[in-house]
Structure 1
Amino acid sequence: MPAHSLQDRATGALIGAFIGDALALGPHWYYDLDQLHADYGQWISDYTTPKAGRYHAGMKAGQASQSGVLLRLTLESLVACDGYDEADFCRRLDTTFFPLLDGTPMQGPGGYTSQSIREAWRKRVGQGLPWGQVAGNADTTEAAERTLAIAVCHALQPAELASAVTGNTLLTQNDGTVVAMTVAFGAVLGMLVEGQPLDTTLSDKLMARVKSGALPFHAVTSGNLQAPRPGETEAQSAGRFPSPDALLSQSSIARAAVDPDIRIEPAWKVSLVYGMPCAVYHQFPAAYYLAARFADDFESAVLHAVNGGGQNLARAMLTGALAGAQTGLSGIPQRFLDGLENAAELLDLATQLAKRIDQRQNRTAHAK
């Protein structure tokens, strides 16, 4: 297990996500890699300013995209409420975030407004629908990018983590596969914050939590996906999500990342292997691969995520969270903090949340 403290890992996951988001702000959504290289060179190693006519034009190097803005909003709510409070989160969206949008893609804080947020804004503000009726079927990682803070907050409470991430995701995205994969990502991140490694044993540990009822995935097989026990009924193993498959790919990807017969060189070409677009089934595998391959090297993990082109902002944000949870804040190069806008404020928020997780763990340990 990593030697880093729980507080260091939790803070590293949150700050790592903010750094990944800001690093990809300039070169965001280049599907033409030749054009990406023409605009930013063969290797992007730091924060960059978006070019005119691009998705975040007018912003400056080191600033947060809208994904970073929403992650901060979520983090502020978690700190204020000492945990996830849906009513508080929704109130913040209604009063501080939605008033800044007009429902169009190219307007809003942080530049581009994602599809699921535009749909939620139209239903909530335009049609006056209540929360619970404004989600859309976008297949992106938009919810995962903010709920990663919830996963960090409840890392030591896997059942609460799954419930809170599920509920928050359903506010803006209602596709069952998207929700399942988002909850799975949160569960993985929570385990890394606990101190578990992203390796070939992780999926077995996740499945053990399915069997215990902590994770709401349906599973009828026994250990190592063996046949069901004689006499076991569906009702004994049913979960909210139809199968545990979203929890099984991480160990296979981790195995591939260290298998000498399977090499993706350079590692940024993982985007070509798993796909450059925005959908969850492209983004999560690439993030898992980079985080497993560079488990002790935050810089390499996040920069290869950025340099892969396409939806590199989501890839870098998710990779940054996973990598930061493994290296801890202490393993993140200082230059990434120096160039990050509002770094002191973000670090203060992340530290406050991380300290509360640490205190919660200590209280639980003393109660036993």
Structure 2
Amino acid sequence: MSSAGFEDRAVGAVMGAFIGDALALGPHWYYDLDALHAEFGPWISDYSAPRPGRYHAGLPAGASTQAGWLLELTLRSLAECGGYDEADWCRRIDEDLFARISGEPHDGPGGYTSQSMREACRLRRQGLPWGQVGGYADNTEAAERVLALAVRYACDLPALADAVVRNTQLTQIDPTVGAMTLAYGALLALLLQGEPLDAQISGTLLARVRSGELPFHTVTAAGEAVAPRGPEAPRRAGQFASPDALLTAGTIARAARDPGVRIEPAWKASLVYGMPCAVYHQFPAVYYLAARHADDFESAVLHAVNGGGQNAARAMLTGALVGARVGFGAIPQRFVAGLERAGQRLAMAQQVARQALARG
């Protein structure tokens, strides 16, 4: 892995996430695809402003939803602290987000505050400390910000797992959400290390479980077709119940390359896997689009956007994976030019990428 190659991929992942989120700002949360096409045409290919009365109304084309805003907050904390500083991150959320929102859904930076953040804000205002305000919202809110942590610790999977799990649990404590969020972060790290997103990627992830780098419980050892004889090792504190969340990406990548399994056009992955916000709808569609368009950033994010529903999360998470695969240099310049605060975000992404290389 060359230093230049890693930095280009790391910056591509971060900027790809910002771009995917912003591309979906205007057409966000249209579950009626006929209405989506009536208002934005048969194919959305660039940034657009939200229509009056819709989510995020009043924001300009190229702006971010709150997911992009939170990713930037997390990236800035990493850049300024040199790594994940939980106290700094929590302080920024208290001062920069919770102090600015009313608790209503249609409020706050980006024009809408997610369920998990609203719940955490309400409990903070009741006097509960951080560490006791996480809730059971099953959206991808944590994944949308911890992808920056995955970039920062891409060269150190145990540190990645620790940071991602701890930050996720600040707002989302459901263990399935946690397992799927960490699986996404670990996958992103492997792509940054140069691994391909193919049918073998899950085996590579499981090898990291068996080496002790990722905190998932498994009863089989490498090369075993059945469970081993003898007593099962007890689960450790903080260990997820099974590694199944790591198996999804490889299976879906295999399907994306199987000529007998076709979703045409690719944006209809949202109809196959589901258009809503929950992790069990979002991650499978993200993995499909990222695997099918692994070397084509534009196609991947635009199919994510054109699928409707929670397309901001779908495009953001897809953009990070494919950005990690192709690198920043392969992202179309028009997407960078039209993105708000692109220069500042690019500088922070470069700084965090260099921290990852320098400190592991």
Distance apart, 1:11 and its partner CA: 0.3
In the alignment, what sits opposite 2:358? 359
**Is the 8 Å Cα contact of residues 250 and 288 (structure 1) preserved in structure 2?**
yes
Give ranges in structure 1 of 5+ residues lacking alignment. Answer: 362-368
Identity %: 64
Distance apart, 1:358 and its partner CA: 2.5
Distance 1:30 1:267 in 2: 18
Residue 30 (structure 2) pairs with residue 33 (structure 1)? no
SS at match of 2:109: coil
Please identify runs of 4+ aligned residues in structure 1 that moved more than 6 A: 1-4, 236-239
Distance apart, 1:231 and its partner CA: 3.0
In the alignment, what sits opposite 2:61? 61
Distance 2:99 2:345 in 1: 23
Distance apart, 1:151 and its partner CA: 0.6
SS at match of 1:235: coil
How is 1:308-327 mapped onto 2 (pairs within 5 angstroms)? 308-327=307-326
In the alignment, what sits opposite 1:246? 245
Distance 2:2 2:99 in 1: 43
Distance 1:9 1:111 in 2: 30
In the alignment, what sits opposite 2:140? 141
**Is the 8 Å Cα contact of residues 204 and 224 (structure 1) preserved in structure 2?**
no
Distance apart, 1:235 and its partner CA: 2.3
Q: Per-residue displacement from partner, 1:258-311 (whole Å, max 9, x unpaired)?
A: 111111110000000100000000000111111111111000000000000000
In the alignment, what sits opposite 1:366? none
- Paired residues in the alignment total 360
In the alignment, what sits opposite 2:75? 75
The amino acid across from 1:234 in the alignment is A
How is 1:276-291 mapped onto 2 (pairs within 5 angstroms)? 276-291=275-290
How is 1:1-368 mapped onto 2 (pairs within 5 angstroms)? 5-125=5-125, 127-223=126-222, 226-235=225-234, 240-360=239-359
The amino acid across from 2:28 in the alignment is H
Distance 1:81 1:225 in 2: 43
Distance apart, 1:221 and its partner CA: 1.2
The amino acid across from 1:60 in the alignment is P
* 1:44–1:236 CA distance, 2 compared to 1 (3 A): closer
Distance apart, 1:94 and its partner CA: 1.2
Distance apart, 1:3 and its partner CA: 11
**Is the 8 Å Cα contact of residues 155 and 191 (structure 1) preserved in structure 2?**
yes
- 238-247 vs 143-152, greater mean Cα deviation: 238-247
Distance 2:12 2:66 in 1: 20
**Is the 8 Å Cα contact of residues 217 and 238 (structure 1) preserved in structure 2?**
no
The amino acid across from 1:98 in the alignment is F
Which TM-score applies when normalising by structure 2?
0.97
Distance apart, 1:226 and its partner CA: 2.1
Q: Per-residue displacement from partner, 1:203-259 (whole Å, max 9, x unpaired)?
A: 111101111111111100122562233335322788611110000111110001111
**Is the 8 Å Cα contact of residues 47 and 62 (structure 1) preserved in structure 2?**
yes
Distance 1:173 1:237 in 2: 20
Give ranges in structure 2 of 5+ residues lacking alignment. Answer: none
The amino acid across from 1:275 in the alignment is G
* Structure 1 vs Structure 2 CA RMSD: 1.6
In the alignment, what sits opposite 1:364? none
The amino acid across from 2:208 in the alignment is R
**Is the 8 Å Cα contact of residues 218 and 238 (structure 1) preserved in structure 2?**
no
Distance apart, 1:359 and its partner CA: 2.6
**Is the 8 Å Cα contact of residues 21 and 317 (structure 1) preserved in structure 2?**
yes
Which TM-score applies when normalising by structure 1?
0.95
The amino acid across from 1:143 in the alignment is A
Distance 2:68 2:236 in 1: 37
**Is the 8 Å Cα contact of residues 143 and 168 (structure 2) preserved in structure 1?**
yes
In the alignment, what sits opposite 1:365? none
**Is the 8 Å Cα contact of residues 14 and 349 (structure 2) preserved in structure 1?**
yes
**Is the 8 Å Cα contact of residues 274 and 283 (structure 1) preserved in structure 2?**
yes
Q: Per-residue displacement from partner, 1:61-87 (whole Å, max 9, x unpaired)?
A: 000110001000000111111111111
